[in-house]
């Protein structure tokens, strides 16, 4: 070997240069040998500097055999690429991590990890799987921090496995659900976009308390321990409730029926209940009745649902000494106007007996008992007075008999039309016939029978 001349005594070797590594010239296919005096490495210029020996001239070529670094080494890329080709597994093991692996690229399983993968410290690392596929961070061999499961469209931030507390934010794009998890389960936030259903609060702890928005059924409500307590706005049903429907203590408004409802386990009063002097109030007994009161007395309105009796008017004795009111007695389907003097109870004015189809109007049980009577079942209509039912007007539609006059008492004079009789028109009574007359009066009674006009000669008495 000749140094610093152009005469080669080794095939394809023009000469050799010795200098520090920083002064190594550019490779130009000069076929020079370069000896680095500071790194003790030997390179060959074959269009690129090829390392042929290191560490004093007798080292190991790490490109074709295993080797061990004897000191710190620095790779300066200088805008060049460093490429590892045709390898299935690439690993970097770090003694600072107690012989654990820092980087693992496994092309066979398409899994890539970086961090404290299997060391004895905290085992904190990032993992990417290209086959499944997913990206996640791990701590203590648990999925904690971030997990992007692209295969199942499931994205988690936090600790879903309760390893360090169990707090996590989860987006389930496949099912259209967003949840926030805290011990002992899903708490904090639950958005079900697929079913248009949303919750905010604690759903699975000891005393679950939360706000719920059910947009599909148009309901907003609060719940405690599985019961609708606090607020319930049912927009579809037109009901708006404030209170505890579980123990029947609430206020509810409705668009379709009651308007406003106040409920509790006892009585509800609205108005001037305890004032001195005259006072009015509205009372609801949730088990029995609804009524109005004046000075502590039931006056005005009383709806007795327990007995199915509904009254309106002066229900207790007033200044006149009467109780006068209208009443509906639903079990007997009876409507009546009642007058009560305290010694004699009666029905005056109107009585409608829908059960028996009997209808009365007038003084039914009073002094003279003058009233109109209709019996739809028997097909009767008549007027009554003092207990007599055949005076005034009597119509028997079933038998086609109609009377007008006074059938009892006095001269008992009345006109009868009996449609089924041989002589349909009949006159009965005292002193309606005479065997003689005082002669012709010169007058005649004009009458039309079956469309024909007739005259009846009238005699003087």
Mean pLDDT of 309-320: 83
pLDDT of amino acid 219? 93
Cβ atoms < 10 Å from Cβ of 311: 20
Q: How far apart are CA 274 and CA 69, in angstroms?
A: 99
Domain ranges for the chain: 1-82, 273-432
Please tell me whether residue 150 adopts helix, strand or coil conformation.
Answer: coil
pLDDT of amino acid 322? 80
Q: How far apart are CA 365 and CA 353, in angstroms?
A: 15
Read out DSSP for 131-142? TTTEEEEEETTE
pTM above 0.85, yes or no: no
Span 25-59, pLDDT tens digits: 998 888 889 888 888 888 888 888 888 876 544 44
In the chain, the percentage of residues whose pLDDT exceeds 90 is 19
| pLDDT band at residue 380 using 50, 70 and 90 as cut-offs | very high
Coarse DSSP helix, strand, coil percentages of the chain, rounded to the nearest 5 percent = 0, 50, 45
DSSP annotation of 26 reads P
Where on the phi/psi map is residue 425: left (φ > 0), alpha (ψ -120 to 50), or beta?
A: beta
Q: Which residues contact 298 (CB under 8 A, 6 or more apart)?
A: 291, 292, 315, 316
pLDDT of amino acid 344? 58
Strand partners, 327: 311, 336
Span 257-299, pLDDT tens digits: 445 566 665 667 666 555 545 667 777 787 788 888 888 788 8
pLDDT of amino acid 276? 46
Which of 279, 311, 313, 310 has the alpha carbon at shortest distance from 296? 279
pLDDT of amino acid 56? 46
- List the structure tokens of 53: 């020996």
pLDDT of amino acid 260? 58
Query: Residue 399: is its pLDDT beyond 90?
Result: yes
| 108-117, 237-246, 424-433: range with lowest mean pLDDT | 237-246
| pLDDT band at residue 2 using 50, 70 and 90 as cut-offs | very low
Rg (CA), the chain: 56
Q: How far apart are CA 370 and CA 363, in angstroms?
A: 5
């Amino acid at each position: 070997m000749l140094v610093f001349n152009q005469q080669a005594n080794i095939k394809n070797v023009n000469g050799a240069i010795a200098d520090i590594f920083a002064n190594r010239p550019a490779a130009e296919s000069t076929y020079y040998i370069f000896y680095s005096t500071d790194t003790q490495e030997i390179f060959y210029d074959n269009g690129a500097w090829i390392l042929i020996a290191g560490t004093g001239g007798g080292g190991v070529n790490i490109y074709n055999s295993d080797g061990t670094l004897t000191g710190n080494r620095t790779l300066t890329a200088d805008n060049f690429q460093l490429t590892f080709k045709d390898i299935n597994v690439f690993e970097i093991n770090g003694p600072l991590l107690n012989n654990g692996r820092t980087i693992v690229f496994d092309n066979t399983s398409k899994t890539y990890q970086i961090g404290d993968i299997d060391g004895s410290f905290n085992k904190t690392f990032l993992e990417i799987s290209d086959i499944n596929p997913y990206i996640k961070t791990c701590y203590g061999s648990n999925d904690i921090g971030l997990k992007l499961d692209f295969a199942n469209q499931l994205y988690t931030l936090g600790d879903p496995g309760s390893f360090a507390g169990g707090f996590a934010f989860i987006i389930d794009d496949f099912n259209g659900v967003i949840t926030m998890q805290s011990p002992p389960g899903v708490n904090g936030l639950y958005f079900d976009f697929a079913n248009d259903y949303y919750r905010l609060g604690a759903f699975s702890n000891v005393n679950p308390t939360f706000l719920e928005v059910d947009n599909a059924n148009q309901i907003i409500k609060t719940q405690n321990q599985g019961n609708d307590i606090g607020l319930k706005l049912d927009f579809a049903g037109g009901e708006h409730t404030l209170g505890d429907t579980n123990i029947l203590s609430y206020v509810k408004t409705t668009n379709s029926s009651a308007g406003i409802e106040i409920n509790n386990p006892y009585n509800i009063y609205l108005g001037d209940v305890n004032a001195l002097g005259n006072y009015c109030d509205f009372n609801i007994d949730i088990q029995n009745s609804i009524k109005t009161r004046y000075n502590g007395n039931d006056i005005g309105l009383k709806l007795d649902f327990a007995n199915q009796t509904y009254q309106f008017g002066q229900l207790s004795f007033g200044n006149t000494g009467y109780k006068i009111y209208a009443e509906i007695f639903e079990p007997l389907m009876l409507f009546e106007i009642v007058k009560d003097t305290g010694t004699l109870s009666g029905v005056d004015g109107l009585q409608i007996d829908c059960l028996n189809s009997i209808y009365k109007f007038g003084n039914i049980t009073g002094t003279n008992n003058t009233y109109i009577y209709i019996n739809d079942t028997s097909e009767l209509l008549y007027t009554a007075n003092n207990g007599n039912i055949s005076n005034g007007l009597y119509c028997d539609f079933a038998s086609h008999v109609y009377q007008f006059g006074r059938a009892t008492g006095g001269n008992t004079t009345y006109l009868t039309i009996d449609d089924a009789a041989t002589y349909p028109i009949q006159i009965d009574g005292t002193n309606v016939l005479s065997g003689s007359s005082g002669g012709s009066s010169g007058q005649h009674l004009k009458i039309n029978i079956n469309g024909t006009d007739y005259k009846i000669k009238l005699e003087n008495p």
